[in-house]
Structure formats: structure tokens, C-alpha cells
Structure 1
Amino acid sequence: MKSVKELVGKPSVEQYASAAVLAFAGTLLIVLFILGGTATIGEWVTRLVAVASVVVALLSRRQSKRSADAAERNAELAASEEIRRRHRLVLDPHPVPFRHVLRNAGTVAATHVEVVNRGDYARARFVGPEGPVTIEPGQARAVDLLTTWGKSGVQVTFEWIPEGETEKKMWTEVIYPSASEIAGRGERQEDSVSRRRREESVAREERREVRSLILQLGDAYAQYKADPAGVGNRLRVQLLTAALPPDLAREIGYEVDIPRHVWGPEEYPFHHHLHPDDAHLIEGIMPELELIWNMRHLEGSPVYGPTEAVGPETEPRIWWAIQGYVERVKDREAGVRHTRRSPEDQRSHDQAMAEMQQFRERWDPDNRRATDPPRTQAGD
């Protein structure tokens, strides 16, 4: 069986107040009855009317208090709403990328409007003449907010002084790139990737063509050296040399009178970069050596050979290539073969040696470090 509390439910604040007033009235009636003694019916009626008046007065006072509190809250809300209506800015997107519309949706003019966090943007300014910006109620001004690449959203803070007031107001909004900006970025990225791929493809084709011309020039130059007076031998060398970029085959161009780029002051003559005793190793073969160097330069792959003393493995300059050639010729004639690890093999070797040393220090008693604790026998 349910209790009275379960049937009635939890009483409200108004029910508690009404019960308190009724309890006060009942208590007052009992007091009057005790003090009345043998009062007449008329006196009792008078007393009841007085008690009812007290109850009505208490209830009226409580209701008046509630009405006054409600009126005060409504007045505060109305004042707050009026303040919000007076000071309200709205930022809308604009069809032009990186441009927005700052609209004054309030009831008073916004003066000295400016972007506080200009440093967060590549460009942040109102469109139009420079100087303080004033936006009348219901009007708007275009503002450029150029963000840096890669930002999906950024905050912008505006500061202004309402007309007739002295205190500055501040408002922050988050802006996101427009659909046109996102589409434009995607198109630019795709265009950049496509352009880079096209450039790489063109460069590969150019290198392939130049390598083919160098091979043909090598054959033609060998025939020309074997028979300089042969019909067409010199002309073939001249045509193939002219078909190459002017920074290639400069020695051959000098020999067959084809215009080429000139050598640098530190690049020519080549024997200045060699010991006099080694100059005979390159006499008469400089055009061939330069052509080989041109092919190496186009290929660009490093060669891990015995060239540590003469320069980097890629031999980017002609005198390094000449010195490397001389060293190879001397080693071959002397029957010397140099061994050398590639960078990958050297790293693997160093790592293996370090691990082996750690193993020795751990298990070899003679190589233990002085800081290691002494070993003890079982049972000590």
C-alpha cells in the first residue's frame, strides 16, 4: 500500500508557504479560543473575520513580493537585451576569397573599429581609405583577412567604441576558409603536383636525349681521331657537338671550332691541378675525359671508389674528375685495388663492433669496468 507522500508527491515551495500560512491561522484561532472563554457568537464571528483578514493580508503580501521580484528580473533582462541590441557585430562571408563583411547589427554606431590581432594574418585591413573605421547601424564594411596557408580556421578579434560611450568593446569570431578558397587551394596543389611531374618528365627526357648525343659524339669523335681527313668525320663531330648544351664537350668544341662556354680560371689548363710527373697521363685525352665527366654529371649517382683524397664521390668539378682519373690509372698500373665500404655497410659495421664491445665488457672478467661489483661464489 502506497504512502501519502508517494500519492501526493514532493510538495513545491508554494505548497510549503500555503501550509505555513494555514498553520499560522489555525494557531492564532486556537489562541483566540483559549483566551475567549465564554464569548458570544458575535464575538466569535468577529474573531474569525480578524483571523481571515490576517491570512488574506499575509497571502497578499507574499504575492506582491513575488510580483515585485518578477518585475525586477524582467527589467534586468530587458536592460541586458537592450545592451546586446545596442552593441552587436556580425561577420558574414564574401564571394571574394579572403574577404568578409563586418555588419553593425546594433542600434548605435560603432566607431574606431579595428582588428586587434592583425599579427595572426598575412593581411588584415578594411577595404577603402586608411584610418579609423565607423560603421553606422544597419551598415557594413568589407574587411580583408588573408590567412596563411594550411589554416583551417582562425580567430579574429574586433575592437570598437560605441557612439556616445568611452569604454571600448571587444568581440571575437572564428572564421573558416570559404568553399572557393578550399577549392582554389586544392586546384593550386594539384596544379603544382602536375607541374612538378611534368617538369621531372621533361628533365628525364632531356637527360636521356643528351646522353644519347654524348654516346653518338663519342663514336663520331673516335672515328674523327682515327681519320681526321675522312669525308664527313669532322662535320659529324661538329654537328653533334653543336646539338649538345654549350656547357658540355668544351674541349671537343675547341678542337673542331664549335662555340662552347669558356672554362673558369681555376679549371683550365688541367695539368695545373696535377703533379708534373703525372701530366703525361692525360696528354691528348682531355676531350674524352671531359665527355666522360659530362656523362657522369648527367647521371648524378655517387661512385664509392678510391677517390677520397681528390674530392667527393660525385666529382662535381672537372679537376676532381681529372685527379680521380689519374689516381685510378696509377693504381691500375701498379696493380693496387683499394677496398672501401659503402656508407650503409660502414654503419652496419660500426653498429656490429659496438654491440660486440658491449658483449665483451659484460662477460669478459678481464675487460670488466672498474665500477662493476665483484662477483661472489654461491653460499658466500
Structure 2
Amino acid sequence: MKRWLPLGAAVVVVLTLVGGVLFLVLTPAHRTTFLVDSSESADFRDVADAVGTAAANMSPDDALALRRFGGTCDAPDTAELVTPGTGQAAKIGDAARAITPNGKPTLLNGVIAAIDDFARTYPFRGSETNRIVVVARGGADACGKSADEVRTIIREHSDRTGVKIDFRFVGHRLSSEQAKVLKAIADATEARATRFTDDAAELVTTMKEVSVPTSLMAQEVVLPKSPCELVTQEVLMAAYSVPREINGYKTFYDDINCQQDRYVRAVGLVEPPGVAQSFPIIFELKDGKWQMWNAGTGGFSCGEIPREVWKAWNWRCTPEPVVCRDADDYTKVTDMNDVGCPVAIDIADRYIAAAQAGETQGTGTFWITDEWTCSKYPMPDRPNVANPLQCERNADRAVVRLGDNW
């Protein structure tokens, strides 16, 4: 018998060591329960999707659980749909989306049950943080207990668990009165400031923010500045400026407008001795450096700069002419201002038909619609009969030209 005593003691020691190792291995650093209001409401899918997204955003090493609540004050209904465990973010999302909303919001009952979940020895509680993230929608709590009653009940259950639980409350599409009730319950749990959301996108963002344990929240990341953020007068002067040593000229830049991290329009100010001159100038980012694209006091061709950039600059450019229909006579159609070939051909054909039907006026062959003015375009050193035809849109002076005698 005595020889079994050392063996038994050894077994106890081994089991204790194994148990200790398993405890360390199986104990998560962070444990979070999502407590979801499953009472009847039309927008429950927003909540389910937000919970699934928040769970997917968390570390796979976090222990996650899902509990719902909703029913009646006489028969409050709550259930743990997913028990705590690691690596089950997808399971949380699937279970949330499978909920069929019904009943009334019974938030206090759900909070109490979620607290009691942490009182069990297993599944293990988080070694660093234990959190309950509450999503209330369509109401807060239908059973109307006073704030003092709520505070007392929650404190009793929290003390019983013997663990500090970090609460987070999110109210989705609540009225002002419902928000007050939710805040009272949140205050009773000593939760951080309650968050309120009004739409699905805001709910997703908020749920992701409140679900990540504080100790794991990313430190503020200073992202590298974009090319537009780095554009300064000094940067543009380095790209293009009149050398200061030549006759004392100085160059400055004002009204700097950067678009798409690639194009800059600025007003160049050149100050010769006693005189100031200004001119528009465009820069383009190429090979990681700002380079002058064009400068001058006249108009600019559109080039390859996107039209939305010119629009953002509130500045017109001259597009390259586009031959919409080629011909050897006056039926040739050229779009001069990017009106689009279907529009250009349509107005050209209508003008030609009007001229052939004798509907035009005067030797200038004038023809006017609500949108267009068409006529012969006078050119120096040409008789009127030899002048080319064109139509100009009244709204923006866009031009469509006919023929090939320009």
C-alpha cells in the first residue's frame, strides 16, 4: 500500500500541472458577449449584419458569445445562442442572421442573464477583459422598472460573478424617450458613454469601435500624407519658378487647387521690380515629382486631364476636335467642345434640313432653336458664300462645325 502513495502523489502532481497548463492555454485574454435585442422590428437585419461584421473584425483568439433577449414582461425570453469560444466569428454572424424577431424589448432581463453567464467556471473568463456589448433597437426596456431597482438588480448579479464586466451600450434608431431609458440602464452598469446610431452604416462602424477590447485598440496611426496634402507654394516653386537672380524676379503661388492627387491648378504671381503679373498654371505629378503641364494667360486645351478635374477647378478647357462624321462636303460634322457625337450629328442634320427647306434667314443662313444658334461663321478674307457653317449651343457656347472648309 505504501508504495502506491508516491505513485498517487505523482499522479496528482501531473494532473495538477496538466490542469494548470490547460487553464493557461484555454483561458482567452478577452471574452465578449454580444447581447442583441431580438424584439419585433423591421430593421433587425441591420443589427444582425452589424454584429456579424463586428465579430469578424475581432481577433480569432477572443472568446465570443451571442445572447438574445425579447418577449413579454410576464414571460421574458432570453437565450444564449452561441456559447463562448474562440475562432467563431462566422458562427456569431450566422446565428444573429438566423434570429426571428418577436416580442417586446426586455433589456434588463437580457443584461442579467448575460452577467450570470460570466458566473460559470467554464467557459473560462477573459484574463484581461470581459465585455458585454448590448445592441438595443426599437425601444430599450418595456417593463418599466425604476432606475434604482435596475441599479440594485444589476449590482447584485455583477457582485455574484466576482469579475469586472465592461459594458458597452449601442442604441439603434431610438426615440428620445427610449434613449433615456437605455441610458439609465447603461448608467446602472457603470458603462461608458452610450452610443446612438441612425442608419445601418453608422451602426456597423459603431459596433466595430465598441467591440474591440480597449487594450487592443490600435494606436493612432499617422498615415503618410497624400500628394495633394503635400502641395505647398514652396513645392510648386521648386517645380517651376522664374529664377530670382535674374533681374530680381520673384515667383509666388496662390489659389492652389489640387485634384485626384495628380493635378494642380494655381495662380502664379511674378513680381518683376515695380510690376506684378499673374497667370494660371497647371502642374501634373509624374514619376513622383510635380512638373509644369501648361502655363499662360490664354485658354488651355483639355489634354488628358479628366473633365471632372476641370469641373472641380470651375474652369473651362478646350477639348480636341472630334470628327463625328467624315465627308467631302458640308455634311461633315466635327464636335469642337465635347458635346458628344450623337448630339453633334443631330443638330447638324437638323440645320442642314432647315437650310434645304428654306427655313434659314438672311445671307448668313441663320437658324435658331431654343437650344442652338446656327449660321455661317464669318472668316477674314472670305466671301460670305465661302464661310463655313457652325452651330453654337446657347447654354455653354459649345460648337459643332459642318463641312471641311475651316
| Structure 1 length-normalised TM | 0.20
Higher relative contact order (CA 8 A, sep 6+): 2
| Structure 2 length-normalised TM | 0.19
Larger Cα-atom Rg:
1
1 or 2, which has the higher helix percentage?
Answer: 1
